[in-house]
Amino acid sequence: MIKVKKALMAILIVFLSIGMMFFQKSLKTYAVDKKVHAYSNSIITKNYSFNKNINFKGVFGEDRIYFKVDKYWKVKKISLSLNLTQSKIINEKLSTLTVYLNGKPVHSIKLSKYDEEENDVRFNLNTHYLKKGTNELEIQSYRRISDEKCEDNINNANWILIKSSSYLHLEFSERKPSDSISEYPYPFVKTSEKAVGQNTVILLPNNPDENEIAAALLISASLGENIDNEKIDTDIVKYSDFNKKLRKNKNIIFIGKSADIPREINEVISKFKQKDKLKGVFVFRADSPYNSNNKIMGIVANRNDDILINAAKFFQNSNLFGQVDSNSYVINGKLNVNNKATSIKNKRTFSDLGYSDGVYMKGPNKQEAIIGISIPNNKSVRQGAMINLKFRYSKNLDFTRSLVSVYVNDTPIGSKKLERKDGNDDSLNLNVSSNVFKGSYAELKIVFNLQMEDLKCTVNRGETPWAFIKKDSAIYLPTKDNNSIVFENYPWPFIKDERFNDVTIVIADNERQQNMKILSDMFAFLGSYIKDNRGKVTVIKASSFSKKNNNGNIILVGSPKENKIIKLINKNMFFKYSKELDYFLSNEKRTLLMHFSKNLASAQLIPSSFNKQRNILVITAPKQEHIPNVSRYFTDFVYNSKIIGNATLVNRWGDKTNHYFILKSSKSSALIKKINFSGTSIKMFIIACGAIIIMLIFSMLMYMKKYKRNGSYAKNKPYRRYRRSK
């Protein structure tokens, strides 16, 4: 009996062992149920600053703030912190402030508690009315200072100021990421992070080839495409630099060939069905082998051609990867991964600009709507721009004083008086000078001045006037190519028509980790401008650089002693290196002392030395440690807005000087025009030159007139002798 039990136990152990082995080897492709959402227990906080002062005058005040709630958040708490001051003259019983969330009232306070000193007013809001995506926070005030209802509305002593330091505070948990590929780029970038992307590393094999690095940069760009106007903190590292700290704390995106896969990652891949890896690029997503709380996504090719580039572009097309609800997928070479951007129309309706329901404004006196308009960096608005507003408004107005005004970039464009007979269907057509458009963003502001009848005030919210701008209102912006090679137009010339414009990155043969991170951050920045993934991006090691591959728009990052191509183009740089390559030389723009220029970093946008139709951006310094001082102007939106000209020097303390250099090529005529008219001193110089020319012409005319009198003109007249009288 004992022997039988032992035999049964042995058989059971064998079956259990086989079962365990089968379980371990059977992590196969499966569909991920997206309806099952598990959230982390940890609480994350995020503040949305107002970033503007809100000034209420009169009985009624009203303003709005917009903020986003990510689809992966579960909001636990929302609170508002108002830095508020107000006139000390107040009717204590009647003055209140009410907060609305997406049109629903969520909190009210009495204003009588607060005075002209700064008051930190904090209170919680009901989370019930929050929604995923964009939310509207509206603040309304009703403030009285006397028993004279109408006089309160025009009395200058009736005011409230909510300062820009006010903020909205959110506390939330994040949804745990699944293994579904369609969730990309989550959790590799999270809007909850203080530095978006800081918890992710793009991992390459040791000694990666050019295609692997190019694919990694395109993945960086794809991460940037999904975040609006925020710096993405990405990192590309080789396996040899992948230390214990990174392994423990980072989500991983691995890119490489099947022959170069690290052992730990290969163990993850081995759990998928072998048939999934027979051809093409194998993409998988699973728990990280280094920390099960993190995720790994692998992009693995089985050959050495540019199929990895194609796979990286797959992740620049959300219409494709968004369909993959499984934890693995094979991208074959025949798959068309292209994502062609919708061409930007010259005529854009308000519906095209995101206002599919039109724009509604209510309340007496001044009401305004601000609409942002993007312009491609390689385009500028030419003459012929127009605005066509279609709107309607309430009829309880004082039509002798009510009007609508339009501004572009705070420049007044035109106004129209409102008429009772047109209240149900009014319009305004305005021509807009191209001079008011600067850069790649324009702000259209529409201001209604809705004055009430009779006593110049309103004391009944039921009588509140309103205005509505229809969704088929439009702005017409004809554009022309803008070929000025200046930092103001960056990312032009590296991005054209919202796709990469034949970009070539030349790296040192054994590139530093620091420079790889800079390039990764640069491409994450560039990615925010990309809507079309068909552009060409090439990576070349300096030793392989030749006539065959030097025709692109080139990006160089590093020191001239490590990247020989920087040394090669030194003679064409605006700020050139010394013969020893250890400091910058003086030129006509700036005199530099040797000990000072040894610690400078520079960014220069110059014509390509290899192709007259292309350009080179070189980010360089004699000492490697100083390169981040200047590279941040190409990785961070806040810094990028501060760089102008075509050459910049940054010292070791971060102080920057911008410089314009006039280019000799005809291609730079627009730049020369810009330089000639960009400063007051230049304008005065031109005026002085014009005055001198006019004086010269006048002097020549006077001389010719005198010559005619004393010369040829006199020959045709009888000779007269004049004698001085005594």
Tens of pLDDT, residues 203-221:
999 999 999 999 999 999 9
The CA distance from 249 to 238, in Å, is: 16
* pLDDT bracket for residue 23 (50, 70, 90): very low
On the question of pLDDT at 623 being above 90, the answer is yes
Q: What is the H or E stretch that residue 345 is in?
A: none
Give me the pLDDT at residue 366, please. 84
Give me the pLDDT at residue 3, please. 52
Residue carrying structure tokens 């959402």: 37
Q: What is the amino acid identity at position 667? A: K
Give per-residue pLDDT as tens, 439-496: 788 999 999 999 887 645 555 555 678 999 999 999 999 998 888 899 999 999 999 9
φ and ψ of 698, to 5 deg: -60, -45
Q: What is the mean pLDDT of residues 277-293?
A: 89
Give me the pLDDT at residue 513, please. 94
Longest dimension (CA), the chain: 166
Give per-residue pLDDT as tens, 455-471: 455 555 556 789 999 99
The CA distance from 325 to 592, in Å, is: 59
Query: How many CB atoms neighbour CB 71 within 10 A?
Result: 10
Give me the pLDDT at residue 663, please. 77
Give me the pLDDT at residue 44, please. 93
Give me the pLDDT at residue 18, please. 43
Q: What is the amino acid identity at position 29? A: T
Residue carrying structure tokens 């971060």: 654
Residue 189: both structure tokens together? 């970038």
Q: What is the mean pLDDT of residues 630-636?
A: 96
The CA distance from 6 to 474, in Å, is: 85
The CA distance from 135 to 67, in Å, is: 5
Q: What is the mean pLDDT of residues 328-342?
A: 87
Query: How many CB atoms neighbour CB 690 within 10 A?
Result: 10
Residue from 202, 213, 370 nearest 297 by CA: 202
Give per-residue pLDDT as tens, 382-393: 999 999 999 999
CATH of domain 181-331: 3.30.379.10
Q: What is the H or E stretch that residue 629 is in?
A: helix 627-631
Contact 443, 457 (CB under 8 A): no
Give per-residue pLDDT as tens, 642-674: 999 999 999 999 999 999 998 765 444 444 444
Give me the pLDDT at residue 362, please. 85
The CA distance from 169 to 67, in Å, is: 11
Give me the pLDDT at residue 675, please. 42
Q: What is the mean pLDDT of residues 677-691?
A: 57
Give me the pLDDT at residue 294, please. 95
CATH of domain 44-174: 2.60.120.260
Mean pLDDT over each residue of the chain, to the nearest integer: 86
* pLDDT bracket for residue 635 (50, 70, 90): very high
Q: Which CATH architecture is the domain 487-671 placed in? A: 2-Layer Sandwich (3.30)
Cβ neighbours of residue 150 under 8 Å, at least 6 residues apart?
455, 456, 457, 459
What CA–CA distances, in Å, run from 17 to 4, 11, 400, 660? 20, 10, 90, 73
> Which has the minimum average pLDDT: 27-36, 77-86, 242-251?
27-36
**More confident of the two residues 49 and 459:** 49
Give per-residue pLDDT as tens, 181-205: 999 999 999 988 877 878 999 999 9
Cβ neighbours of residue 323 under 8 Å, at least 6 residues apart?
182
Give me the pLDDT at residue 10, please. 53
Q: What is the mean pLDDT of residues 611-629?
A: 96
* pLDDT bracket for residue 545 (50, 70, 90): very high
Cβ neighbours of residue 602 under 8 Å, at least 6 residues apart?
575, 584, 618, 619, 620, 621, 630, 647, 648, 649, 650
Give me the pLDDT at residue 457, please. 54
On the question of pLDDT at 68 being above 80, the answer is yes
* pLDDT bracket for residue 129 (50, 70, 90): very high
Fold (CATH) for 347-477: Jelly Rolls (2.60.120)
Q: What is the mean pLDDT of residues 311-315?
A: 96
Give per-residue pLDDT as tens, 555-600: 999 999 999 999 999 999 999 999 999 999 999 999 999 999 999 9
